[in-house]
Structure 1
Amino acid sequence: MTALSTTEVIATGERLLSRPLRLVRELSGGQDAVTILATDGTESYVVRAFSQESPAVGHEIGVLERLDPLGAMAPRLIAYGEESGHPVIVTTALDGNHPDPDLPPDVIAEQMASALARIHQLDGTGLRPEPQEPPTRTSRLSVRAHAQWERLDLSGRVLTHFDFWCGNALWNNDRLVGVVDWNGARWAPRGVDVAWCRQDLVLLGSVAAADHFLRSYEERSGHHVPDIRAWDVLAAEHADPHVESWDVNYAGIGRADITAAILRKRLDAWIDELLG
């Protein structure tokens, strides 16, 4: 079924809030949501509409209530409902913008590490547990990921964002000020988020920044991630079939220079390093 239009999303937000809203702008919501920034003249809100029967809103509601310790770095739930079968959620709008395309990868790495160390202090007990089983595909990378499964430390689970990349962070110049898109959060080992963010830094073009992120995260969190290579392999195995389609997500944060071809090239080089 087709997604809701921007006009329909605004109208649904007005119904849920019982007040008129004015569209400020459309936001990059990835590939599974229509996301807008709207205002009632006093307060600003983010309204997100997902595909029909998506469980995303139900999951996010259970996560947002756990994020109070993050303060202004996380959104607060305002309202939720549905329109024509599309789940819709309204949250507070966080200050900040997408990372500047000229922001050095090492700065992104440092700020992401600091934020993730705070997130991983939160309890994820009761959220969906991940990972649940090793990969089942038959590619060379999948076979390696399956073999690495036994090396993973699946204990010490925390609240994990589960899509922790720079496009889900909000920035004020060179400072990370917020993290959004919490509907996928899980109860999982910290290596899940660490590897996913490392891979994003690789796709931004800097393996060195990925390594800097790991060192900074371990220092700030006080936790060593000895099985990071195994987590890196699993992250790459997940990305491998889809990475070209992520050009839309990078374009949505102002990085149209990161094309499908560049994503494929950078991930392939990363996979070669991981398998070497």
Structure 2
Amino acid sequence: MSHAGTAPALPNAEQLMWALQIAGGDAIAEITGLRAGGSPFLLRWVGDDGTGRVVLRIDDATEAGGEAVAESVMPIADRQGVPVPNVLGSRIDDEVSLLLTEWIDGTRAQPVEADPARLESLGAMAAVIFRADPGEAQLPHISRPMQGADFAAMRASGTHPLLERAAERIAGYEPDDRIGLVHGDLWVGSTMWRDDRIVAVTDWDSAGLGPAGIDLGSLRLDAALGYGLEASDHVLHGWEAEAAREAESVAYWDVVAALCTPPDLGSFAGARITGTERPDLDRQTLVARRDAFLEDALARFE
């Protein structure tokens, strides 16, 4: 789940000129930060032939590897039928990395009440991603969501007995699941919608090769955070219907998904509230729902 943190500075003049040269415009008419006022930025450009919009993502140069992965994976997903923005250009400087993509008209806003059809479509999308053929692409092998984040260190800095018990319970366990393409940070905030239909899957910098449960568990947890424990089953039904088989190691991957969150949910809560327009959710509610999801997963884990 992408974080909401301190908003970075707006793109500088040179970065905007680079984007304009690729987009073919003459001037930037509007800059909108799409996450808490920061990156990625929606740029509206104007020119002799009219106007258009592109999305500019700015990351620290140390995260350039993730952008390289995204640039490799997005065409693979696109060939499988996953709706993804086209990559228009990328660049790595001394301090920042830039990724320019097309703008997909849609919204990340989610309904306050659970919609089983929407939740099932999320599960189905994870199954579509998983069966994509990566071909000869050199992709990282991943074993959990957001593999670059050190959630164990977050747990060590505080006290949360349930999370600690869960980590001890699955320590050393490695399910023998089949491997395929996974998004690696799949939650409702990494999708865009129009007319109750997913029109884009974004944020591919954590993608790689791994078990399907990485994405399925993330989506099941995400559904439980948004709507309560029962909502997670709609995601599972959608995945299994699309995959035409039972999902593997569901309880284990549910535990893993819950462990891949900060103990107090921290900026995850802010990302959900602002990124999906769910002001009805507060941190206390989200922590209670995460813990209920984890307790249920531990009860099912053998």
TM-score range, shorter chain: 0.7 to 0.9
Partner SS for 1:53: helix
Structure with the larger RCO, 1 or 2 (CA within 8 Å, 6+ apart) = 2
User: Does residue 140 of structure 2 align to residue 128 of structure 1?
Assistant: yes
CA distance in 1, matches of 2:217, 2:123: 12
Identity level (%): 22
> In terms of mean alpha carbon deviation, does 19-28 or 85-94 score higher?
19-28
Q: For the Cα contact (< 8 Å) 2:113–2:227, is it kept in 1?
A: no
User: Does residue 203 of structure 2 align to residue 181 of structure 1?
Assistant: yes
Q: How far is 1:34 from its partner?
A: 0.9
Q: How far is 1:128 from its partner?
A: 1.1
- Structure 2 counterpart of 1:47, which letter? L
User: Does residue 266 of structure 2 align to residue 254 of structure 1?
Assistant: no
CA distance in 2, matches of 1:267, 1:231: 14
Q: How far is 1:52 from its partner?
A: 3.8
CA distance in 2, matches of 1:190, 1:82: 31
User: Do the aligned partners of residues 53 and 240 (structure 1) sit closer, same or farther apart at CA in structure 2, a change above 3 Å counting?
Assistant: closer
Query: What is the aligned partner in structure 2 of residue 88 from structure 1?
Result: 98
Describe the superposition over 1:253-273 as per-residue Cα deviations: whole angstroms up to 9, x where unpaired.
211222222222221222233
Query: What is the aligned partner in structure 1 of residue 55 from structure 2?
Result: 46
User: Do the aligned partners of residues 181 and 149 (structure 1) sit closer, same or farther apart at CA in structure 2, a change above 3 Å counting?
Assistant: same
Query: What is the aligned partner in structure 1 of residue 223 from structure 2?
Result: 201
> Can you give the 5+ residue segments of structure 1 that lack an aligned partner in the other structure?
none
CA distance in 2, matches of 1:163, 1:253: 15
Describe the superposition over 1:24-57 as per-residue Cα deviations: whole angstroms up to 9, x where unpaired.
55253489x6112223445431111112422232
Q: How far is 1:203 from its partner?
A: 0.7
User: Does residue 237 of structure 2 align to residue 228 of structure 1?
Assistant: no
CA distance in 2, matches of 1:101, 1:21: 36
Partner SS for 2:245: coil
CA distance in 2, matches of 1:127, 1:240: 27
Query: What is the aligned partner in structure 2 of residue 64 from structure 1?
Result: 74
Describe the superposition over 1:146-194 as per-residue Cα deviations: whole angstroms up to 9, x where unpaired.
5435554344211101111111111112222221111111111000000
Q: How far is 1:196 from its partner?
A: 0.2
- Structure 2 counterpart of 1:159, which letter? L
Query: What is the aligned partner in structure 1 of residue 182 from structure 2?
Result: 160
User: Do the aligned partners of residues 272 and 117 (structure 1) sit closer, same or farther apart at CA in structure 2, a change above 3 Å counting?
Assistant: closer
Partner SS for 2:181: strand
Q: For the Cα contact (< 8 Å) 1:240–1:267, is it kept in 2?
A: no
User: Do the aligned partners of residues 112 and 260 (structure 1) sit closer, same or farther apart at CA in structure 2, a change above 3 Å counting?
Assistant: same
Q: How far is 1:69 from its partner?
A: 1.5
Q: How far is 1:18 from its partner?
A: 5.8
Q: How does 1:107-118 map to 2 (within 5 A)?
A: 107-118=117-128
Describe the superposition over 1:196-235 as per-residue Cα deviations: whole angstroms up to 9, x where unpaired.
0000001102221201210221121123223110111111
Q: For the Cα contact (< 8 Å) 2:121–2:238, is it kept in 1?
A: no
User: Do the aligned partners of residues 30 and 227 (structure 1) sit closer, same or farther apart at CA in structure 2, a change above 3 Å counting?
Assistant: farther
Q: How far is 1:84 from its partner?
A: 6.0
Q: For the Cα contact (< 8 Å) 1:127–1:186, is it kept in 2?
A: yes
Describe the superposition over 1:51-106 as per-residue Cα deviations: whole angstroms up to 9, x where unpaired.
24222322212212312314571111111114562111001122321134346342
User: Does residue 126 of structure 2 align to residue 104 of structure 1?
Assistant: no
CA distance in 2, matches of 1:156, 1:23: 48
TM-score between both structures, scaled by the size of structure 2: 0.78
Q: For the Cα contact (< 8 Å) 2:109–2:275, is it kept in 1?
A: no
Query: What is the aligned partner in structure 2 of residue 36 from structure 1?
Result: 41
Query: What is the aligned partner in structure 2 of residue 13 from structure 1?
Result: 19
Query: What is the aligned partner in structure 2 of residue 119 from structure 1?
Result: 129
> Can you give the 5+ residue segments of structure 2 that lack an aligned partner in the other structure?
1-5
> In terms of mean alpha carbon deviation, does 34-43 or 139-148 score higher?
139-148
- Structure 1 counterpart of 2:163, which letter? L
- Structure 1 counterpart of 2:293, which letter? W
TM-score between both structures, scaled by the size of structure 1: 0.85
Q: For the Cα contact (< 8 Å) 2:254–2:294, is it kept in 1?
A: no
